[in-house]
Chain A
């Protein structure tokens, strides 16, 4: 490839940089607003730095400031506690990820490494479920969770995705297929059963793809809104995304608490951004590979 700096390349770089700035700017604006004093915001709508910088907004949404303090800084004064929602999100995402990845790995092993009649047909059926739009199964699932009395419980939020998703099984099966059979046969000659092979051979050898899947699952679960909105309305199980929606609709008439809202969105987004910073290469490369998600 030619590397000299011709005008075309300069223009191309300029386009790419502009696109990257457009991508990053809203994140900066979220930060800038979150550290601003809400009552002062309307006076300086285009100040690039935080207006009267303060931690007030964070204190407000984390329930650390008194009602009077919160109201003085333009909050609604309604009790909000994003600590609790943060904890709830952590519980839901962690349990979902651990269960889903583990059970999907078991299934993927059966589809990739075991021989049994009808295997490929059953796998095709699992894959076909990818075609069904979520809302179609979501309505009966809601009715089921309601009839089981699991509304407003962690179990109700977690159960539908805890045992498998077609994507997770598909993803892991692809990797398990590629593992050398000779190793497995050698282990079998040594008397290892399928349990030993799965835990001692397949899992360690697939540590990388399993981690990737776990990260993707975690992010998806953390960001999910629709299902927890339906089954996890009550405070004790309310996750961050749902809490954000509630917080947004609580905004007092006249001057919404923009600083508080941005502080809250930052709290919801930051864990995923940090996860991404740590695993950027892995996540980025997985998207080229797996294609669909």
Chain B
């Protein structure tokens, strides 16, 4: 990232402050009203009882205490983690695979555009198309399974299958996008390291594991952090297909917060859960960055 290196003028001079204030006014208004203020208010609401109808009533740590004993909350966390693990695990492996294939085979913009295509279509559309394709009775996927002698699967109706199904649908939507991020990372690896490996007689596999992957690490970490944060925010797919069912199997944390806030008007409790989610996401990102030593490159 570049930082402007403006020649040091008189220190502490207001510079272009007046002009800057004019240019910044609309954005600052938006930032304060729709980002800063709600962040502070959200934190406050998490310590209140608030139904949207009357003013929020401060109730200390009640919401958090309730959360500890709320089996739905723990179920939601568990289901979300299951989803994230399947989704991110598969997606990352596939994305690296696709990126490697593109890197070695073709620079074609068409190929890249095709793999990116699902990402540009709304979650809701993607969810509904797959909901139809995975239908128990007339879906094409179950038809195809029957051709190879497998009994139809109730992808959305079976509580064991529901989360993996939703996870796979979103792998389909996001793998091309993630692959393009990885692809950009691959292009930053200088070709001389490959040439050196070839001279040393390294096989394709060895080169991948010993050179490409380690050199890709900083990019991979960033991709993992970003995609994982996104993955925790699963909502659309669940909202238009299973709506949390069957028997809570897909009631992910986002959906549970939504239900609490907008069908039970339990705004204070929902805010408390959102704050806990915020903390979890911050922690997960921090851990990933630490564990995978994101900043250092092996190419020093």
Chain A contact residues, CB within 8 Å of chain B:
1, 8-9, 12-13, 15-16, 19-20, 22-24, 26-27, 29-30, 33, 41-42, 45-46, 103-104, 106-107, 109-110, 112, 114-117, 119-120, 122, 126, 129, 131-144, 146, 159-164, 166, 169, 174, 177-178, 194, 198, 219, 222-223, 225-226, 229-230, 240-241, 244-245, 248, 258, 261-262, 265, 268-269, 272-273, 275-276, 280-281, 283-284, 287-289, 291-292
Contact = CB atoms under 8 A, between A and B. Distances in A.
Interface of B: 1-4, 6, 9, 12-17, 19-20, 23-24, 26-31, 33-39, 41-42, 45, 52, 94, 97-98, 101-102, 104-106, 109-118, 120-126, 128-133, 135, 137-140, 143-144, 172, 176-177, 180-181, 183-184, 187, 204, 222, 226, 229, 232-233, 235-236, 239-240, 254, 257-258, 261-262, 267, 270-271, 274-275, 277-278, 281-282
Given A23-B176, A106-B26, A287-B116, 11 more contacts: A103-B26, A109-B23, A132-B278, A163-B29, A194-B23, A223-B120, A226-B236, A244-B122, A245-B124, A283-B116, A287-B181
Given A133-B274, A262-B129, A41 B180 contact: no
A144 B38 contact: yes
Contact of A29 (B3, B14, B121, B140): B140
Nearest to B137: A42
Contacts, number: 282
Per DSSP, are chain A's interface residues mostly helix, strand or loop, or mixed?
A: helix
A19 B179 CA distance: 12
Given A163-B29, A284-B113, A114 B177 contact: no
Nearest to B280: A133
Contacts of B226: 291-292
B133 to A, nearest CB: 6
10 contacts: A107-B28, A135-B233, A139-B261, A144-B37, A162-B30, A166-B31, A226-B258, A240-B122, A248-B128, A284-B113
Contacts of B19: 110, 114, 194
B123 A19 contact: no
A261 B241 CA distance: 13
Given A23-B176, A114-B15, A136 B24 contact: no
